[in-house]
Structure formats: C-alpha cells, structure tokens
Amino acid sequence: MDYLQLSYVQVGFASLLILVNAAISIWLRLGLERSLLVASFRTIVQLLLIGLILQWVFQFDQWYVVIGILVIMTMIAGVTAVQRNDRRYPGIWLDTILSVWVSSWAITAFALLIVLNGIDKWYQPQYAIPLMGMMLGNTLNGISVGLSTFTETAYTRNDEIETMLTLGATRWEAIWGPSAMPCKPA
C-alpha cells in the first residue's frame, strides 16, 4: 500500500501553527495558552492511539475487523449526538443511534459498492473507515441540530401541545400544527 509519510520536519512545521496561536493568545491576553497546551497533548495522544489501531487494522485486512471498527465509530457518533442535546425524551437513545446507523451506513455502502466499484474488496480499510468517518461526522451534526430543534420546540410549546392533545389532536398535529399535516383527514 502506498501512502505519504511525513517527516519530523513537516510535523514540526504543523506544530508551529499551535505556537502561533499561543503567541497570539499571549499577545492579546486571551488566556487560552493552557487550553491550547491541553488540546495539543490530547491530540497527540489520540492520533498516536488511532495510528496504532489503524496500522493493525490495515495489516490484518479482514472484513469483520473493519465492520467492528465501523460499528464502534457509529455507536460513538450516536451517543455523541444525544449528549449534544440538552433535553431528553423516552426513546431518544434508540431513535438517535438508529438514525445515525441507517443514514450513514446506507450512504457509505452506496459509495463503497457503487461509486468505488473498481476497488478489490468493499471492506478495504483505507476506503471504508475514512468514508464512514466523513458520513458519521455529517450525520452527527445534522441529527444533533435536528434533535436540538425538535426538543427545544417541544419544550417551549409544551402548554400548546398538551392543550391540542387534550382536544384530540394526534401527536403529529400537536407538535407541528394542523397545517403541517401531510394530508388532511376527511
């Protein structure tokens, strides 16, 4: 497998960007130096650990290992989407994890099987893991924003929703209003 190997000098130049940010923080008296140091250390540790795991996965090159990594990534994204939301409702965990799972796996499968049909094996880790990571990142953000909007709307309109439910409205009508109904009852 061919890959671009970075030299220590190249990594050092990339590290200078953090030092530039720290210098700006000191100059403007923002007080972000400690946060930058902690974030830099965490980044180094995380990248080293991920590098070790990916090196093992790339050498092993078995479909069940790649699927296992993708399952772990998906579960972390689903849990993170819920944790980004301040309000909860019964079933939020299942709804969110299932939404993340179905949407990201469907698009990744399409990309691996249809778009990249020239690759040897659909589960090649150098394709499957980064594609799933990109899909999960976008899915996580979209579901987090949608979930936050939904729960905040339900919270702020709680009295109105309960009144409509009391008067016989369906859950759909109570939350989104009669004008949002996909079809009007006869």
pTM, entire model: 0.73
> What φ, ψ does residue 81 adopt, rounded to 5°?
-60, -40
The Cα–Cα gap between 162 and 144 comes to: 25
Supply the pLDDT for residue 6: 82
The Cα–Cα gap between 15 and 9 comes to: 10
* pLDDT per position as a tens digit, 149-168: 989 988 998 898 889 889 88
* SS3 (DSSP) at 67: helix
Supply the pLDDT for residue 2: 64
* pLDDT per position as a tens digit, 68-120: 999 999 999 999 999 999 899 999 999 999 999 999 999 999 998 888 887 88
Q: What is the mean pLDDT of residues 131-152?
A: 94
Supply the pLDDT for residue 183: 58
Query: What is the residue type of 64?
Result: Y
Supply the pLDDT for residue 175: 79
For the chain, how many helices (H) and strands (E)?
7, 0
* pLDDT per position as a tens digit, 8-34: 898 888 888 888 999 999 999 999 989
Residue 66 confidence (pLDDT) above 80: yes
CB 173 within 8 A of CB 157: no
Supply the pLDDT for residue 1: 55
Supply the pLDDT for residue 145: 95
* pLDDT per position as a tens digit, 27-58: 999 999 899 989 999 988 998 998 898 888 88
Cα Rg of the chain, angstroms: 23
In sequence order, the 6+-apart residues with CB closer than 8 A to the CB of 143 are: 81, 96, 99, 100, 103
Residue 146 confidence (pLDDT) above 90: yes
Q: Domain residue spans in the chain?
A: 6-60, 62-179
Q: Distance from first CA to last CA of the chain, Å, rounded?
A: 63
CB 160 within 8 A of CB 100: no
